[in-house]
């Protein structure tokens, strides 16, 4: 939307101004950590969870560290201005938390070799740029196991945002989890073509439930699909943060982003002088992917979910352990092997058994 773009631009410009005026008040700390968010911290999803991580840093180090953030930064020229402003105002560690901040981060990092940068979900690294992301698909596998046990109609309703590898990987992982306990499960997928439009996400959920789905899964950001599940008396899985408040009778669990430990560890590394450029892709084991409490299910399903979660953490289960065939029947991963990360990162095909066509 035009209006929202203008608003975000204004917000970003205002934030840069605020940051600049705050610069004079800066005093010596062990670390000054900056965060750049793509959305408002009030989105109750992606940016909100990053900000929880920022607060964890403050809690951990108290006065030794100061943090600041700029929210609703558009992925474009403004991002570069905001990041540069942060680097200029004495921040020595800057987290840029959206894929679209990749090139601006790289550009600014070249000009400030002494500032450490951490870019979420990207792939461009340098001596002073680390990348990090979370293996949310592990959480989706656990959710799939629960759904496979809980569905009565054997139809899963899945609201997708865009057919990008992150989302496709999630669908594949979810269904592999579901099939591991119930081979008859089918999935119906509706692409909302938006990350965020509560009304449309809700309508998509209604359409899926009308067509027989009794478990709602979503890879969009608002709690609307789960809320529809609650109102229609079916079950669902939350996204990004614990959404139990919106669906006390419907939410089975939620796949929660959990950056706290990573952010604290990286800040500590800067303070100790041990920071190095790394590439982190953490899953359940690292704590980056967290499952909200298992609710609205019988004890045996809960026990199975906990067991699956533990086995993924220990490496006993790999959500993409071979053999894996794609829809055309071609063997993609051999028996006894696990899908390599490069395959997962570029996943643009459905696994065999998904009865839907991937939009091109």
* Residue closer to other proteins, measured from CB, 32 or 206: 206
Using rule CB under 8 A, residue 328 touches other proteins: no
The whole-angstrom separation of Cα 321 and Cα 209 is 31
Residue from 34, 53, 170, 223 in contact with other proteins (CB under 8 A): 223
User: Is residue 323 reached through a cis peptide bond, with omega within 30 degrees of 0 on the bond before it?
Assistant: yes
Q: Among 36-44, 62-70, 110-118, 283-291, which window interacts with other proteins (CB under 8 A)?
A: 36-44
* Residue closer to other proteins, measured from CB, 104 or 160: 160
Using rule CB under 8 A, residue 209 touches other proteins: yes
Q: Which of residues 227-266 bind other proteins (CB under 8 A)?
A: 227, 231, 245-246
Neighbouring CB atoms inside 10 A of 344's CB total 19
Residue from 120, 204, 234, 301 in contact with other proteins (CB under 8 A): 204
Query: Do residues 120 and 131 touch, judged by C-beta distance below 8 A?
Result: yes
Using rule CB under 8 A, residue 7 touches other proteins: yes
* Residue closer to other proteins, measured from CB, 35 or 61: 35
* Residue closer to other proteins, measured from CB, 84 or 200: 200
Question: Which positions ≥6 away from 307 have C-beta within 8 Å?
Answer: none
Q: At what angle do helices 198-210 and 224-232 cross, to 10 degrees?
A: 40
Which ranges in the chain belong to alpha helices (H)?
2-22, 46-61, 77-88, 102-111, 136-150, 165-181, 198-210, 224-232, 260-272, 299-314, 341-345
The least distance separating other proteins from the CB of residue 142, rounded to whole angstroms, comes to: 24
Q: What angle do CA 141, 43, 59 make, to 5 degrees?
A: 85
User: Residue count at the site for other proteins (CB under 8 A)?
Assistant: 46
Using rule CB under 8 A, residue 157 touches other proteins: yes
Ramachandran angles phi, psi of 333, nearest 5°: -130, 130
The least distance separating other proteins from the CB of residue 198, rounded to whole angstroms, comes to: 4
Q: Which of residues 45-64 bind other proteins (CB under 8 A)?
A: none
Reduce the DSSP state of residue 216 to 3 states and report it. Answer: strand
The whole-angstrom separation of Cα 330 and Cα 350 is 11
198 phi-psi bin (left φ>0, alpha ψ -120 to 50, beta other):
alpha
Using rule CB under 8 A, residue 351 touches other proteins: no
The least distance separating other proteins from the CB of residue 253, rounded to whole angstroms, comes to: 18
Residue from 120, 146, 178, 224 in contact with other proteins (CB under 8 A): 224
Q: Which of residues 169-188 bind other proteins (CB under 8 A)?
A: 188
* Residue closer to other proteins, measured from CB, 4 or 55: 4
Chain contacts with other proteins (rule: CB under 8 A) = 1, 3-4, 6-7, 10-11, 40, 42-44, 157, 188-194, 196-200, 202-204, 206-211, 213, 222-224, 227, 231, 245-246, 355-357, 359-360
């Amino acid at each position: 939307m035009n209006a929202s773009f203008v608003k975000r631009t204004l917000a970003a410009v205002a934030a840069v101004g605020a940051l600049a005026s705050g610069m004079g008040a800066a005093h010596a700390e062990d670390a000054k950590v900056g965060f750049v968010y793509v959305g408002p911290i009030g989105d109750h999803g992606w940016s909100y969870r990053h900000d929880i991580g920022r607060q964890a840093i403050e809690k951990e180090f108290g006065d030794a560290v100061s943090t600041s953030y700029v929210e609703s930064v558009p992925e474009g020229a403004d991002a570069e201005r905001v990041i540069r402003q942060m680097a200029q105002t004495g921040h020595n560690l800057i987290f840029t938390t959206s894929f679209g901040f990749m090139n601006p981060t790289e550009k600014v990092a070249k000009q400030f070799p002494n500032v450490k940068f951490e870019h979420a979900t990207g792939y461009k690294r340098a001596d002073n740029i680390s990348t990090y992301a979370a293996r949310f698909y592990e959480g989706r596998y656990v959710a799939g196991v629960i759904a496979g046990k809980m569905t009565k109609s054997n139809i899963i309703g899945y609201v997708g945002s865009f057919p990008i590898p992150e989302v496709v990987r999630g669908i594949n992982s979810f269904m592999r989890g579901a099939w591991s306990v119930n081979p008859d499960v089918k999935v119906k997928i509706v692409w909302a073509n938006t990350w965020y439009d509560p009304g449309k996400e809700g309508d998509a959920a209604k359409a899926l439930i009308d067509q027989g789905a009794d478990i709602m899964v979503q890879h969009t950001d608002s709690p609307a699909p789960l809320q529809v599940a609650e109102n229609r008396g079916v079950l669902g899985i939350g996204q990004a943060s614990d959404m139990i408040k919106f669906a006390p009778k419907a939410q089975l669990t939620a796949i929660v982003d959990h950056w706290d430990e990573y952010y604290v560890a990286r800040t500590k590394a800067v303070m100790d002088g041990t920071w190095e450029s790394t590439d982190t892709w953490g899953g359940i084991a690292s704590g980056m992917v967290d499952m909200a409490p298992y609710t609205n299910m019988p004890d045996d399903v809960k026990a199975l979910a906990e067991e699956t979660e533990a086995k993924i953490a220990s490496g006993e289960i790999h959500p993409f352990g071979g053999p894996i065939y794609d829809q055309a029947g071609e063997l993609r991963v051999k028996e006894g092997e696990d899908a390599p990360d490069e395959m997962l990162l570029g996943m643009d095909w459905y696994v065999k058994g998904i009865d839907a066509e991937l939009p091109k």
